[in-house]
Amino acid sequence: MNSYEHLLSPIKIGETMVKNRVFMPPISTNLAKDGYVTDELVEHYAARAKGGVGLIVTEVTTVEPTYVYLPGDMSIADDSFIPGWKKLTDAVHQYGSKILPQLFHPAYMAFPIPGTPQLIAPSNVGPYYAKEAPRAVTVDELKIIIQQFGQAAYRVKQAGGDGVEIHAAHAHGLLGGFLSPLYNKRTDAYGGDIHGRLRLTLEVIEEVRKTCGKDFIIDVRISGDEYTDGGQNLNDAIYVAKQLEKAGVDFLHVSGGTTIMRGSSIPAPGTPMGSHSRVGEEIKKHVSIPVATVGRITEPWFADEMIANGKADICMIGRANLCDSEFVHKAEEGREDEIRPCIGCLRCLNGIMFGKRVACTVNPSLELENEDTILQAETKKKVLVIGGGPAGMEAAFVAKKRGHDVVLCEKEDTLGGQVKRAAVPIAKQELTKLIQYMERKLNREGVQIRLNCEVTEKMLKTEFSDYEVIASTGAEPLVINSFTKFKQCVTADDVLAGKAFPGRKVVVIGGGSVGCETADYLAPLVNDLFPRNREIILLEMADGIMLQESGPGRSLLAQRMMKKGVQIFCKAKVENVETDKIYYTQNNIQHCIDDADTLVLAMGYRSNPKVEEVLKESGLTYHLLGDAQQVGNIKDAITQAYQLAKEI
């Protein structure tokens, strides 16, 4: 018996037996082409099936040809899509997994491709999301759309699919919009009370069941609570769940929140695991069909606990399976410490929003050739890696895996580099797991690690004279010397590393991610005017804060700062600093802060040019990596390291 007997036990869904309770929820990949299944898409889902996932719900799959959700999403709007789907279902079935597409009509959330007609919606409500007001869909159009859902489901059955998921959650797309009072203001039979708002979804279910028969899984994704004033609440969702069971739905995928309330539906970094589990647990009490819970379930022990404790029948585990396609097998075999940790950064989602293919910070390659399958180097070399941050650790691991003799030197007494400081702010603790994971895999691979070892020019010319060098020495905080006149002037790095302890009134210069995270970290946890609370002022010269970031994490960080009373001033340029005064200009008016205790500099980072000067002088073949080459994020660093070490 394995240690996760509840999670890995089989479950019957309708007429179908699924081998375990790890289901993969929809995650957009942008790997389809013009809606058609590609070989890359087949490989992507087949890898998760091979890794042991019991059932896969694919990304959004549109049921009609007019409206596109994302340019790289899937479709099954006519019979020409069936062959690709057949290839996909066959690839997944060979590993004993089941597969359902998520059927979806994007409606007022469609991508504005040129030539797209005016978007449709339950009502002409558009300010939350649409760039222009949509029109209310007509009843006659709804009759056609219902048939399109049924026809799409039938094509799935023809292609060998095991069923479909019908997306009616998050006030998202046509069905989710009809269910939500935020969007549905209709006064006909499809609006008004909960019965009217639910009617379209019930008619779609009826059509799919009539078209596809009893031995075809129908799952519906709903929001257990929209967590929004004026939205659908838990009492509504319990009633909806009961009606869906009566309508013949085989299981419920209970999520929560809405796409328009950032951070409510897609859990941000630092969100507790099982972010929608409370609503799913309550709904489970009132239905007899299986209930799946979802929301940042990233560790097998937690998923097993959810099922063992009766909080859910199924765990939808998405980004953890994206991060590590062998998640299930590693858990089953007791190799939990080898599971790549999902750090919740949502870079996978952020890229999708800008038309990029799916990617992962911790897993630098989602291709068939990756860290696990990488080929040996034709010529074995001696490789010196300078710097034990994420870039250096990844480069050392891949180089060693390819057969090179690798030495990793780190000047500090532990590995991790900047990530050790990045893990300190609120909601960033997950990064500690990344450092642990990367260090473990270096040790497993047998990389020689030297801590408290700063590589000198002399060492390069003697001990390492026949090595190829990878320098991943990180970056230094930008410091304006004239600002250091202030009585206590420190960098954000100093604060996060525990090297500096700020006073009671703190001014932070820089409203990027580091400045905001440091302000949030220093601010009082409760804004209650307690006499010993710190007062935090954040000055940013740009028009807004964190302009390079998007997504739920950014949203929740901004909300936290405001709740805590952090005073945020944008378009505020610091002009001059004296021992006890900070002068800044905003809207051509000069202001002076004369009672601050501490000035924190968070104005960005720069690479240290001396590193390359020393390497040039050594005459060795060298490569600059990560922030040593160009300042970026953790994803940039790990991906660059993987690509570089793969070529050496």
DSSP string, 426-446: TT-TTHHHHHHHHHHHHHHHT
What is the DSSP pairing of strand 572-577 with strand 582-586?
antiparallel
Tokens at 625, concatenated: 């990596």
Backbone region of residue 349 per phi and psi (left: phi > 0; alpha: psi in -120 to 50; beta: other values): alpha
DSSP summary character for residue 226: -
Nearest to 300 by CA among 67, 20, 103: 20
| Model confidence pLDDT, tens digit, residues 20-63 | 999 999 999 999 999 999 999 999 999 999 999 999 999 999 99
What is the rounded (10 degree) CA torsion for 369, 372, 374, 379? 180
543: how many CB neighbours lie within 10 A of its CB?
Answer: 8
Q: Give the CA diameter of the chain.
A: 84
Separation between Cα atoms, residue 367 and residue 44, nearest integer Å: 8
Nearest to 455 by CA among 391, 397, 392: 392
DSSP summary character for residue 36: B
The contacts found for 3-7 with CB under 8 angstroms, 24 or more apart, are 3/304, 3/334, 4/300, 4/301, 4/303, 4/304, 4/331, 4/332, 5/304, 6/304, 6/307, 6/308, 7/300, 7/303, 7/304, 7/307, 7/315, 7/331
Separation between Cα atoms, residue 470 and residue 386, nearest integer Å: 6
Q: Are 538 and 516 in contact (CB under 8 A)?
A: yes
pLDDT at position 2, please?
59
Tally: H helices and E strands in the chain: 20, 28
pLDDT at position 1, please?
45
- CA 632, 634, 635, 640 torsion: positive or negative? positive
Separation between Cα atoms, residue 406 and residue 384, nearest integer Å: 6
The parts of the chain modelled with pLDDT lower than 70 are 1-2, 127-130
Which spans in 540-603 are helix H?
552-563
Nearest to 299 by CA among 333, 249, 332, 341: 341
pLDDT at position 183, please?
93
Tokens at 240, concatenated: 């909806």
Q: Which amino acid is at 171?
A: A
If you write DSSP's letter for every residue of 472-518 in order, what string do you get?
Answer: ---EEE---GGGGGSTTEEEHHHHHTTS----SEEEEE--SHHHHHH
Which spans in 354-430 are helix H?
390-401, 418-422
The β-bridge partners of 165 are: 102, 219
pLDDT at position 128, please?
63
- Which residues have a Cβ under 8 Å from the Cβ of 120 and sit 6 or more positions away? 67, 107, 108, 134, 135, 136, 137, 141, 174
Nearest to 432 by CA among 449, 446, 420: 420
